[in-house]
Structure formats: C-alpha cells, structure tokens
Amino acid sequence: MTPRITIIGLGYVGLPLAVEFGKKFPVVGFDIHERRLAELRAGHDRTLEVDAAELQAASNLSFSSRIEDIRGSDFFIVTVPTPIDGYNRPDLTPLIKASETVGKALRSGGIVVYESTVYPGCTEEDCVPILEKFSGLKFNKDFFCGYSPERINPGDKVHTVTKIRKITSGSTPEVAEKVDSLYRTIVTAGTHKAPSIKVAEAAKVIENSQRDINIAFVNELSLIFERMGIDTQEVLEAAGTKWNFLPFRPGLVGGHCIGVDPYYLTHKAESLGYHPEIILAGRRLNDNMGAHVANRVVKLMIQKGHKVQGANVLVLGLTFKENCPDIRNSKVIDVIRELQDFGCNVSVYDPWADADEVRHEYGLELSPRPNGEQEGATDAVVLAVAHDRFRELDMGRFSKDNVVIFDIKGFLAKAAVDGRL
C-alpha cells in the first residue's frame, strides 16, 4: 500500500523532506502561514534550501493549512522549531500546537514521527498525551509514534537530506521497522535504527551539545592567547598538523541548533536533580563572545585615535552562518547591541538576509550597500559572517583610512586586519 504522508511545518527541515517524499508518495505539506504556502505553490522557497525545479519534481506534493486535507494520513512527520525563551528554557509551544493539529487529524493505525529537537522523553511524556487527548485514541494500541531527528545543515548543498545518515526509532519494534523502511526509500546514505525513541532523542541533542562544548574550548583559548599576545588562528593551524586534532575555530555560536539544543538537555537534567557543569559552562562562555568582540573593537578604535561615542561602525553579515539567509538566534546581534551601548552608530549589511525579517526579529534596518550609511566616514568594520560574496569587497580602501577592521571568522588575511578571534 502506498503511504499517505503529511509533513507538519515547512521550514528548513520540513520542506526538503516533503519534496523528497513527494517524488515518491502522496504528500501534504502543512503549514499555518498562508504566505509561505502561497510562495511554495508559486515555486519559490525563501529559505533557498529547495529551488523551483526541485519543487516541480515533487509531483505528488501539495500544500495546505486545512486539517480536512490531512485527515487519515498514514504518517505525520512533525518538523516544527523548538526554540528557547528569554530565560533559556525550552519553548515547546510550536511542538504542542503541532501535536494538537495532528491529534485532530489522526486516525486509527496512524504513525506520528517527530523530527524536532527535544530532550529525551519529550515525545512520549509531552507529545503523546496531547495526541491522545485530541484524537481520542490510545497510544500503542490505536496509534503509534516514532522519532527521527533532523540533520539538516542550512545552506549546505552537499550534505542534503538524502545524503545524511538518518537515525530512526519507533514506539514498538514493528513501528520502528515501518519508520525505518519509510526513510530508507529516500535516504541514500542509509539509516540507523535506534533501540528506543529516548535513545534517538538523546543522540540528537548531544550532537550539537558536543559541538557547542568544543567551540567553547577554542573560544576560551582565544581569550587566553589574546592576553599572551599569540594569534589563536596560527596556534590552531599548527596544532592541526596532528592527525587527530579536531578542527574547531573560535567564533559566535548562534543559529537554531548549537546555541539552543544544549539547553534542552540541561533542562531535563535539572528536572531530574542533576546540575550540568561542563555543558552550561560552555554555554555561558559562548553566549558572552559577542560582548567580547565588541569590547575588542572598541579598544582597537581607541588605540587608533577614534572617538568611540558617535563612531560609525559597519557590521558585515547578520545571518547565523555563511551563505544562508537564516537569521534565527544570530549572535551577531550581541555584537551590534554592545557597540550601540558604547554609543556607536552601527550599520549592518548582509546580502543574504531578508530586510523584512530582520526588521521584525531585531528592529534593525539593513544597509542597502556594503559601505555603511555614511560614505567615507566609517571608523570600524566588523566582518561577522564569512559570506562568499564578501570576498568581492575591497577591504583595502578601509585600511587606507585608518579604519579598524576586526575579522571574527578568520576570513581575511592576517595582515589585512587589526584583530581577529
């Protein structure tokens, strides 16, 4: 029997998944945002993860915001975001709302698979009761669940959804095999069937926690080596000649994964009476790097004789990573806010970011050109994101005018900048 699939949430994770399944099976891409649906029907993906040709190739894919259109699906795959609130606590609101929607559409025999990053136990302890309440069905009798964590890397055109090995799991051995079989139809890189949903949930949340801790380590090294007058990049290049040295680099840790997921794990640990030491220490260190960068820029401006109050600073890049329009949880904003607190006039240029999204999310107006708002009056430039398009900029014109150039990403040659992490 050909499975009928519904994908709940059509963002960076859900849309590529819907497109791949839509090449083989009847798929409904469900989203509550009508503007998003209209754009996709017109063949445009604002996240730039899927192009028009790929959308067209998914001939079995349709889009809807109506529960009537998803009732009776065999599989519901939930790919909504799982952010944190202002106190770094997990915000399950999108996940809860999505579960309510699925519950209203769920029929006997249905399988609900969650891909959203959560803490271990969330699927069965938080989501299942909602599914039962809104469907009137009994878990593992009338309906079943699975968990298959997303591994999408926004902006990466090499490691796409079909080329990344997929972890799968199910609430019973039989369902685990069904979930695994479904994903095997599209994932050419293969799958790994975890022994339980909790194991699959834990595997996902530690992936990004591990990276967060490693980046925190090199960020701390950069703080130490700065005091020693040693260039951190040169140290890491030298150490990297050993075959098993891990190639992490210092920087701002933002985005919807690395800067968020560790808090899901620590939240669950603290609810069980354990206070994580290393994970939270890494989070604190990484969360403070934006202020550290701003302070270094200000010190360099003072050393070059610039007046900080009223200085014009150009920040290049606002997205959380290079060559990607995703601005969620970008830590560049921490640099900007700190510079503004010093009294600087900050202009931000980013050819990848959407001006309306930036205005809504951060209350900022993007500069329409890569030289700030005031031609010839720039006092400092902060290269915050390593977009390929920034290689086309003539940074030499700034150095001629005694402008401070700070390179967060190690994007430019050492001789071309005044400071870098």
DSSP 286-331: HHTHHHHHHHHHHHHHHHTT--STT-EEEEE--SSSTT----TT-T
> Vertex 72, ends 195 and 144: CA angle to 5°?
20
Residue 299 CB partners (closer than 8 Å, separation 6+): none
Rounded to 10 degrees, the C-alpha dihedral 226/230/231/235 comes to -120
Residues 119, 123, 126, 127, CA torsion sign: positive
Element containing residue 407 per DSSP (H, E): strand 404-407
Catalytic residues: 257
Report the C-alpha gap between 370 and 317 in whole angstroms: 10
Q: Which two tokens stand for residue 408?
A: 């967060």
Report the C-alpha gap between 178 and 172 in whole angstroms: 10
Alpha carbon separation from 216 to 30, 226, 242, 329, 382 (Å, rounded): 37, 15, 21, 17, 21
Report the C-alpha gap between 63 and 101 in whole angstroms: 15
* CA contacts within 13 A on the Cβ side of 407: 21
Tell me the three-class secondary structure of 213-262, residue by residue.
HHHHHHHHHHHHHHHHCCCHHHHHHHHCCCCCCCCCCCCCCCCCCCCCHH
Q: Do 142 and 40 form a contact (C-beta atoms < 8 A)?
A: no
Give the single-character DSSP code of 123.
I
Alpha carbon separation from 406 to 176, 312, 334 (Å, rounded): 50, 14, 15
Q: Which two tokens stand for residue 283?
A: 């989070």
